[in-house]
């Protein structure tokens, strides 16, 4: 991989974007590499949590120099939406570690993750409006669901960057930490998640994501009811409850 790096730290996969000279702006080859990597991660049962982060800057958006002369068909040909949707649909928990800029497509990449942890010097936003476009890789869909319609419109219509503090107040990031502690805290979250029962985590993620996009409340409740009951078919449920009764720590097998 030319524009990305990937390493395993125990059972945690860590992806980094590596185009520092362009503040990690996402060009087409980078997103294609990311797509191939996500396909591999999907099939790798050893990976329990995925972290996406980059040194100094998360990603300053899509590469404007690669888009400036695109026509409609060429614009569609960037695989951003498809790739970010694959990340959103991963069955394992995902965490975006945001240092520096997470703008435009960079913020959309972070929004495709389950959690966002940012350093105090993070700057996030949707500057697309200032370029004559709008967010197009999940931003107009995921931001309103996460923040509410009016807050999302504020970010998207004005195109201004906001501080990590403001992002936390809005609920755009889960937590902010000092820059030098960022990866330490992200790893702590990931390690904790590794100790949870994988099947229950997977089903909880699937149920939350199905519920949030299901307009009929009764139907959403039914999905939850079925998925909840199905967990009683797992060894992890027996282990978790027996461990509680026997006053010991559970050891989950992911079955």
Residues labelled catalytic: 108, 128
Q: Determine the Cα–Cα distance for residues 122 and 159; give it in Å rounded to an integer.
A: 16
Q: Which is nearer to ligand DAK, 64 or 146 (CB)?
A: 64
Q: Which is nearer to ligand DAK, 74 or 178 (CB)?
A: 74
Closest approach, Cβ 237 to ligand DAK, in A, equals 40
Q: Determine the Cα–Cα distance for residues 40 and 186; give it in Å rounded to an integer.
A: 22
Q: Which is nearer to ligand DAK, 81 or 227 (CB)?
A: 81
Give residues in contact with ligand DAK (CB under 6 A): 22-23, 25, 60-65, 75, 78, 80-81, 101, 103-105, 127-128, 131, 136-137
Closest approach, Cβ 99 to ligand DAK, in A, equals 13
Closest approach, Cβ 203 to ligand DAK, in A, equals 30
Q: Which is nearer to ligand DAK, 69 or 218 (CB)?
A: 69
Q: Which of 70, 64, 53, 71 is nearest to 15 (CA)?
A: 53
The owner of tokens 């120099």 is 65
Closest approach, Cβ 16 to ligand DAK, in A, equals 17
């Amino acid at each position: 991989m030319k524009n990305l790096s990937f390493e395993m730290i125990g059972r945690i996969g860590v992806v980094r974007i590596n185009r520092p000279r362009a503040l990690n702006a996402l060009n087409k080859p980078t997103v294609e590499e990311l797509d191939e990597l996500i396909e591999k991660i999907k099939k790798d049962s050893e990976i329990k949590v995925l972290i996406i982060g980059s040194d100094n800057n998360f990603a300053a958006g899509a590469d404007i120099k690669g888009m400036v002369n695109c026509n409609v068909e060429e614009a569609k040909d960037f695989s951003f939406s498809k790739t970010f949707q694959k990340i959103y649909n991963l069955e394992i928990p995902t965490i975006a570690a945001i240092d520096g800029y997470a703008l435009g497509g960079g913020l959309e990449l972070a929004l495709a993750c389950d959690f966002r942890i940012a350093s105090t010097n993070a700057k996030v936003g949707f500057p697309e409006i200032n370029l004559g476009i709008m967010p197009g890789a999940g931003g107009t869909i995921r931001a309103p669901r996460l923040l509410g319609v009016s807050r999302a419109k504020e970010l998207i219509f004005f195109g201004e960057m906001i501080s990590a503090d403001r992002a936390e107040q809005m609920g755009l990031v889960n937590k902010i930490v000092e820059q030098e502690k960022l990866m330490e805290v992200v790893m702590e979250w990931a390690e904790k998640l590794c100790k949870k029962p994988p099947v229950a985590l997977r089903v909880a993620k699937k149920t939350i994501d199905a519920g949030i996009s299901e307009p009929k409340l009764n139907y959403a409740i039914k999905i939850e009811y079925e998925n909840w009951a199905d967990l009683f078919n797992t060894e992890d449920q027996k282990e978790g409850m027996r461990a509680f009764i026997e006053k010991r720590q559970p050891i989950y097998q992911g079955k």
